[in-house]
Amino acid sequence: MPMPAPSRGEDRRVTIARPFQLGAFRCHLLEGGLQRLDGGAMFGVVPRTLWSRRVPPDERNRIPLAMRCLLVEHPDGLVLIDTALGNKEDAKFHDIYGVENAGLEGATALEDALAAAGYLPRDVRWVINTHLHFDHAGGNTTLDPELEGDPRRHVRPAFPNATYMVQRNELEFARHTNERTRASYLPHNFEPVAAADRWKLLEGNGEVLPGISVRLTPGHVPWHQSVVLTSQGETAVFLGDVIPTSAHLPLAWIMGYDLEPLRTLEAKRSLLGEAVAGNWWLVFEHDPKVAAGRAVAEAKGIGLADVLGDG
């Protein structure tokens, strides 16, 4: 998997859409913008004196987090894994979460990145969501540009020719929130997809397209899934929130946001064991500097080789 590592001064089209080859798959790492979340919440029981050495927080104790998506040129059609935040949230929301996801001429950062890879939203044939939190599925839908000023805030699927895939139980979980979960599951990110009859709901682990499989990695939410790509002896896993950044590689470094942290622990243990044994590439959705790296065993745990990053 040769992966170019552009420098900070290079063409913006390169830095927001990084191409790489995984076996026969031509893929693109798409930068969907940034958000900022509380560092303590991102690292759970890990003391601030430890996590802040790796990721210094801002004056509001927030750390920067990418909203990286993965585009796969597949024989059965273009596949997009996760969709970042989208364009439906207001200024107050953007301030709370420190969002920077504006693109050019009214587009989102993800739309810009998709264009930099040479594609338009209508070209996407499949969308796979790791789960339905707003920073992973917000770009599933979009404000209709012809009705943006309408008080009904009409929303439609952002990828008009795509079939969307998620775990059936994740969609049901998103529809039955409580005081702990409702801030992360926003119905306008997934119900318009249902209204358009565009969901293909999955049942557990399995291959969803040739060479593309989903694997349940629960803990962050009960039906979280990671996406595994395999081609010509090469494997990469799009981790989602089971390991959101490279700083979360230590088994015990688990987000305070996780609903079932002990399940996260076991999901990480199993996944990283296979990744090291199989020389897999790990693709990080939220790490603002490290996009991907090959999993390797180190004396104190799991490390990365052949790192692709911006710093």
Q: What is the pLDDT of residue 275?
A: 97
Residue 195 lies inside a defined structural domain of this protein:
yes
Please, which residues have CB within 8 angstroms of residue 92's CB and are 6 or more apart in sequence? none
The dihedrals phi and psi of 98, each to the nearest 5 degrees, come to: 55, 45
Is pLDDT at 145 greater than 80 in this prediction? no
Averaged pLDDT of the chain: 92
pLDDT in tens, 15-24: 699 999 999 9
Q: What is the pLDDT of residue 9?
A: 32
Q: 261: helix, coil or strand?
A: helix
| Whether the predicted pLDDT of 296 surpasses 90 | yes
**Quick check: is 65 in a domain?**
yes
Number of domains present in the structure of the chain: 1
Question: pLDDT tens digit string along 94-104?
Answer: 999 999 999 99
**Stretch 105-128: mean pLDDT, rounded?**
96
pLDDT at 79 over 50: yes
Does residue 253 surpass a pLDDT of 70? yes
**2 is a domain residue:** no
Q: 142-151, 163-172, 234-243, 283-292: which has the minimum mean pLDDT?
A: 142-151
Residue 98 belongs to some domain of the structure = yes
1 in a domain, yes or no? no
Q: Specify the pLDDT at position 227.
A: 98
Q: Rounded CA gap, 135 and 97, in Å?
A: 10
For residue range 206-245, what is the model confidence (pLDDT) as tens digits? 999 999 999 999 999 999 999 999 999 999 999 999 999 9
Other C-beta atoms lying within 10 Å of the C-beta of residue 56 = 10
- Show the tokens assigned to 139: 């770009």
Listed range (26-35, 135-144, 151-160, 292-301) with the worst mean pLDDT: 151-160
CA angle 243, 184, 289 (to 5 degrees): 35
Which pTM does this prediction carry? 0.93
Instruction: Give the list of residues 6+ apart from residue 132 with CB closer than 8 angstroms, or none.
Output: 166, 170, 171, 174, 185, 189, 190
For residue 144, name the pLDDT band (cuts at 50, 70, 90). confident
Question: Which are the contacts of 69, defined by CB distance < 8 A and separation ≥ 6?
Answer: 29, 30, 32, 80, 81, 82, 83, 84, 110, 113, 139, 285
Does the pLDDT at position 150 exceed 70?
no
State the greatest distance between any 2 C-alpha atoms of the chain, in Å, as a whole number: 58
5 domain residue, yes or no = no
Helices (H), ranges, the chain: 12-16, 39-43, 48-54, 91-96, 109-116, 134-137, 168-175, 191-195, 261-278
Q: Does residue 22 fall inside a structural domain?
A: yes
The pLDDT, as a whole number, for residue 11 is 42
Range of the domain at 259: 12-309
**pLDDT interval class at 199 (50, 70, 90):** very high
Output the pLDDT for position 309: 79
Q: Which two tokens stand for residue 223?
A: 């039906």
Q: Is residue 6 part of a domain?
A: no
CATH number at residue 45: 3.60.15.10
What's the mean pLDDT in 36-50? 97
